[in-house]
Amino acid sequence: MAGEIEALKNVATRLRINSVKSTEAAGSGHPTSCASLAEIMSVLFLKEMHFKPDSPKNPSNDRFVLSKGHAAPILYAAWSEVGLFPESELLNLRKIDCDLEGHPTPRLPFVDVSTGSLGQGISNAAGMAYVGKYIDKASYRVYCVVGDGESAEGSVWEALAFSSYYKLDNLVIIFDVNRLGQSQPTQLQHDLDTYKKRTEAFGCHSIVVDGHDIQELLKAFSVARTIKDKPVALICKTFKGQGFPGIADQDNWHGKPLGAKAKEVLEHLNAQLKAKDTSGHHLAPLKPKDDCSELKLMGSIKLPSAPQYKLGDQVATRLAYGNALARIGQTCDRVIALDGDTKNSTFSIKLRDVKPNQFIECFIAEQNLVGVAIGCGARGRTIPFASTFAAFFTRAFDQIRMGAVSQTNCNFAGSHVGVSIGEDGPSQMGLEDLAMFRSIIGSTVFYPSDAVSAERAVELAANTPGVCYIRTGRPNQPVIYSPEESFSVGKGKVVRTAGASADHLTVVGGGITISEALKAADILATEKINIRVIDPFTIKPMDKDLLAKAVKETCNKVLTVEDHAPEGGIGDAVSAALSQSGVIHTVHRLGITEIPHSGKPDELIAKYGIDAKAIVRAVKTLLGK
């Protein structure tokens, strides 16, 4: 035992040495934020976690999330320590041709979720733990290291409330309370008692330990294994820069290599390594229990039958979303829905009604909703659909953005978009959601305009890599596609035309503005004005070819109509596509240009100029009639 502790101490010292060396070689990074973690990482990687060090993606492995992603160098040092790659590779930290980046990303096989935007790791870890306990029903445990500075993020408390509500006793959250933030001491500094009270009040079993004492850490992890029906919070008192003489616990050492001090610190650390460091080499990670198998879900999801609507039926796209989710959920038990207490509005409740075990209520905490969904989807264990009002996904933009960095395949569905929701008023109206999801690199943005296409959007999203967003609406809309119509990403539909040479102008909409455009087409037809109406189906990618062809055939004029802010939505997407196409064009746009008021949906789409009458007026003006 004593030899083992010495060995673990040596590991901790080596992790410190490598954190100093690698950041020194990089000329940037956070060695002091690593140093406070050295004993914790040593114990975790060599005495607590069960995993195959040569197979980091093994589904039976324990999971590890470094929520304080800026301590990446010590994570990399730990994986080198267990033999995944040679120590020399650590000196390529932060280089453009090396995936040991400034903050961890899944370009590395041992990283499941990107971290670096603080306070998100626990939600991801909670998602993994939820899947481990309730879906995989496997032995793996989940460990998450959180900084004290980042515990000011509310998302941390959302995640703890979630974890205790769902009794995630396979989850251990390690708080590295090193007292110092980036620019000054943290709010609570070394007030460990308050951390204990807060985490206990949020339902954790909390243990305060000296985070630099290997024996205390070993004991705490061993107690953690005995705790049932609660997540465990290890509140570790540590010092930033621990082990670095003259630097430990001092201000102004955040996020910088040791520079002129490095030599002295390395000499000090090397002197601490026991002369005969053979014991350390006997340490090896504990083997996992092989009780979780590989899955290949992506690409396998199909609606069991064509959508069950008739042309002209009045169905809200949010209802079709719920129907489709329930239908694919019945064909695949790894399709799951996550809700933020809006399930009876988004209709994700449809899946819960038929498959309650594939449904996770996350309550009114959208950051955690998204973080948990990303965690549930990590390593491809599930196909998650997170839904709430479109407006409330803005609450989780940072999590969604980080999801893209995490290479998530998570799907998001936002209902209650635009002024067409009616009386609830602007706080509930999704007016920026298209802009938000379009800006996510690699995303796909579906905006179905009837129930049939909404069901197909769900099916396609389930099989499309990257962040997928489905924009659904509150009001009923007529079904405009036959059940057999086929849809694909980036392919729009001409839903009204009088023929290639007979249309006077192209109108592009989405959701309810397609319904309005079709009404406008009827009105205009009585005056011998023909409009071509295009339903892009996906706003990103936008069907450039279909648009360019239409514009050429309709006097180079396009009208866009959207229940969204003027910037970032359909108008921008159409302008962007045409501007790059080389086709001569003028785009006139209708959208919501001022903060809307409460009112009836029909009154509001009229007041803000996106209804059939407004389209008729704009078309006539554009055609000079």
Please state, in angstroms and rounded to a whole number, the distance separating the CA atoms of residues 74 and 201: 31
Q: What is 501-520 written as a DSSP string?
A: TT--EEEE--THHHHHHHHH
When the beta carbons of 286 and 584 are compared against a second copy, the nearer one is 584
Contact stretch for a second copy (CB under 8 A) within 98-106, 213-221, 282-290, 299-307: 98-106
Please state, in angstroms and rounded to a whole number, the distance separating the CA atoms of residues 510 and 299: 26
Decide: is 355 part of the binding site for a second copy (CB under 8 A). Answer: no
When the beta carbons of 116 and 492 are compared against a second copy, the nearer one is 116
Binding-residue pattern over the window 21 to 60 for a second copy, x denoting contact by CB under 8 A: -----xxxx-------------------------------
**Nearest alpha-carbon partner for 515 in 417, 428, 406, 615:** 615
Contact stretch for a second copy (CB under 8 A) within 115-123, 305-313, 474-482, 507-515: 115-123
Contact with a second copy (CB under 8 A) among 44, 77, 208, 391: 391
Contact with a second copy (CB under 8 A) among 365, 454, 461, 470: 365
- Total site size for a second copy, rule CB under 8 A: 117
When the beta carbons of 188 and 283 are compared against a second copy, the nearer one is 188
- Closest CB 153 distance from a second copy, rounded Å: 6
Between residue 138 and residue 197, which ones bind a second copy under the rule CB under 8 A?
Answer: 149-150, 152-158, 161, 165, 181-184, 186-187, 194, 197
Q: What is 563-593 written as a DSSP string?
A: SS-SSSSHHHHHHHHHHHHT---EEEEE---
When the beta carbons of 406 and 497 are compared against a second copy, the nearer one is 406
Beta partners for residue 337, in sequence order: 359, 385
Q: Tell me the torsion sign for CA atoms 16, 18, 19, 24.
A: positive
Contact stretch for a second copy (CB under 8 A) within 242-250, 316-324, 438-446, 512-520: 438-446
Contact with a second copy (CB under 8 A) among 76, 392, 469, 487: 392
Helix (H) or strand (E) run with residue 66 in it: strand 63-66
Full 3-state SS string of 240-290: CCCCCCCCCCCCCCCCCCCHHHHHHHHHHHHHHCCCCCCHHHHCCCECCCC
**Nearest alpha-carbon partner for 372 in 384, 357, 380, 389:** 384
> Which DSSP state fits 62?
P
When the beta carbons of 14 and 471 are compared against a second copy, the nearer one is 471
Instruction: Write down the catalytic residue from 48, 150, 216, 366.
Output: 366
- Closest CB 191 distance from a second copy, rounded Å: 11
- Closest CB 10 distance from a second copy, rounded Å: 29
Report helix, strand or coil for 291. coil
Between residue 509 and residue 548, which ones bind a second copy under the rule CB under 8 A?
Answer: 540
Assess contact for 10 and 39: CB atoms under 8 A. no
Between residue 395 and residue 414, which ones bind a second copy under the rule CB under 8 A?
Answer: 395, 397-398, 401-402, 404-405, 407
How does 327-354 read in b/e, with b if 16+ C-beta sit within 10 Å?
bbbeebebbbbbbbebbebbbbbbbbee
Please state, in angstroms and rounded to a whole number, the distance separating the CA atoms of residues 470 and 488: 14
Contact with a second copy (CB under 8 A) among 19, 33, 60, 368: 368
- Closest CB 184 distance from a second copy, rounded Å: 7
Contact with a second copy (CB under 8 A) among 339, 503, 543, 563: 339
Please state, in angstroms and rounded to a whole number, the distance separating the CA atoms of residues 354 and 139: 27
Between residue 551 and residue 610, which ones bind a second copy under the rule CB under 8 A?
Answer: 565, 567-569, 571-576, 578-582, 584-589, 592-595, 597-600, 603-604, 607
Contact with a second copy (CB under 8 A) among 222, 270, 331, 427: 427
Please state, in angstroms and rounded to a whole number, the distance separating the CA atoms of residues 155 and 367: 6
Please state, in angstroms and rounded to a whole number, the distance separating the CA atoms of residues 229 and 170: 9
- Closest CB 103 distance from a second copy, rounded Å: 5
- Closest CB 304 distance from a second copy, rounded Å: 26
- Closest CB 298 distance from a second copy, rounded Å: 18
**Nearest alpha-carbon partner for 6 in 31, 39, 36:** 39
Annotation marks residue 366 as catalytic: yes
- Closest CB 240 distance from a second copy, rounded Å: 14
* Helical spans, DSSP H, in 378-450: 390-393, 397-405, 433-439
- Write out the catalytic residue numbers: 366
